Structure formats: C-alpha cells, structure tokens
Amino acid sequence: MRALIVSLVLLALPGCAYVIEKTQTIDESKTVRISPEYVAAGDAEGLRAFAYGDHTILSSDESFNAWDSNKVKLTFEKIGQYFRSEYLLNDFFVQRGFKLAHIKRVFMPEQVKLVEVAPVKTEPVKLIKSYPKIEEYSQSQLDTVQRELDRQADRISTTGADLFYAQVNLNKHKDSLKDHKPVLLFYFDFAKTLFKPNDEFKALLIPELRTASEIHLRGRTDSIRASKADVWIAEQRATNVKDFLVKNGVNPSIIKVSHLSEGNFLLPPKPSVSKAVNRRVELIIKP
C-alpha cells in the first residue's frame, strides 16, 4: 500500500520521468480500440485519437498532459473541441490526474496522406445589411448539424480526418454568419432533385431574399466518388432552387449557381443521417 501511495504522489509532480515510471503499472496486454487508427492500454475511457495528415487529433473529456515514448512532453493546439499535435504521433502517453493511458497507432495499408489547406485570409468588409429572420433560421440549422457532428464523434468507426474536415466546413458557415452572410441548407431525398421548400421558408424568408445583393447556390451530393449521374444531380438541385427563387420574385441576375458532385461534406460521409444532410443545396447570401 505504501509503495502505491508513493507512486501516485510521484505522478502528481511535474516532470516527464514520473509519468514514464507510472507506465510500469499499465497492463500492455489489454488494449481497446479508441479509433480506426489508434489503440490504448491503461485508463483510456473518454479518450479518442485520430491520425490527420501530419498531425494527431486528440479528444478528451478532461484536461491532460502528454509525453512521447522518449519522455519528451508533447504540446497540442486547441481547435474547437479537439487538440492537434505538432506532428503525427505513433506511440505516446496521456495523463489525466491519476489516470494514465498508453496510446499506439495502428498501421494500416495504403493510408492516404491528407494535406491541410490553410484558410484564405480576406480583408474585412464593411457591412451594409443584415437579414434577421434568415440569420436566425441559419443559426438554428447550423446548431442542429453541430449537435449531430458531436454525436458522431463518439462513433469508433468515424475517422479523425472525416470529423476534422466536417468541422472545418461547418466553422466556415458559422464565421460567415457572424459577418451577416448566412447560409441556408436545403436537403434532398436520395437521387432526387425536386425542391420542396417548407411553408416557413416561403412565408418568412423569401421577402428578405428579394432584398439581397448576391445569392450563391451550391449543389451537393452524398457521394464520396461521383458518377456521371451525381454530376447532373448536383447541378440540377441548385438549378431547381434558382428556378423557385426566380418564380417568387428574386432577381435572377443576382443568383450564381455552382455544383460539386462529391466530397465537401458537413457530416462524416458514411452514416445514413449524414447522407441525408450531405445531399443539399447551400444558399449563401451576401449583403
């Protein structure tokens, strides 16, 4: 008992060496899968780790310290609800209070290296207009997508790359909304292009859309790899939304239409609930 108390006290003290001593108590023969890319021994409850390009993304329900297998302390950058390491980690330790986990990367064949694209910096634009009803509607839609994305973070089969990429896309819409450039999301049935807006959209939002200076419509599908049919579907969805707007008094000269038949997901692509959200047209409004 005395030896156990001493080891716990040492764990609470600063310094890498104490953490490495504590790893002797971890049963390395018992591991659990905490993501498609990582397994963990020790106390890993509430921990998720994902390989993302040249980095490791860590999700933890508690504050933590981390060290690599050479006893070098690791640093992480906080991005939203995730923590990104300086480089890709293959073997490291995570300490949360008296809980310690040994995390190792599982190497899989034909892994694809992801390239992180730096966000494009734009000059601030003087705001000349806002859209109160549309912005409230947009905020509600984005909050719903965020809640679903948070739920999918608990799925072991969901990769860190998919989660991170979806969060980046969602954050772009949230940032645009702060600048009074809201996005509206219109969802479509599988392989369908028929646009069926609800009564709230027609009654409350159309009047504000008539006053917009510029509207961008972006057609999307739920395909990871697009077929020829997906290309047509993505374009036709955006075109059908434009036709509806024009019939309801929106100036066609302010509407720009584009489409992308694969990728650019708002939710990780595999679950059925994700597919229903990823089959969409994004209507982005500029003052």
Cα angle value 149/39/157 (rounded, 5°)? 35
Joined tokens for residue 72: 């070098």
pLDDT score at 251: 93
| Domain ranges across the chain | 25-105, 132-286
pLDDT score at 123: 64
pLDDT score at 241: 94
Residues 6+ apart with CB under 8 A from 20: 67, 71, 93
What pLDDT digit, counting tens, does each position of 252-280 carry?
999 999 999 888 899 998 888 889 999 99
146-154: long-range contacts at Cβ-Cβ below 8 A with a sequence spacing of 24 or more?
A: 146/170, 148/267, 148/273, 148/274, 148/277, 149/266, 149/267, 149/268, 150/81, 152/267, 152/268, 152/271, 152/274, 153/48, 153/59, 153/81
CATH number for the segment(s) 132-286: 3.30.1330.60
**Do 209 and 287 form a contact (C-beta atoms < 8 A)?**
no
Low-confidence stretches of the chain (pLDDT < 70) are 1-24, 108-118, 120-128
Domain 25-105 has CATH 2.60.40.2500: yes
pLDDT score at 192: 92
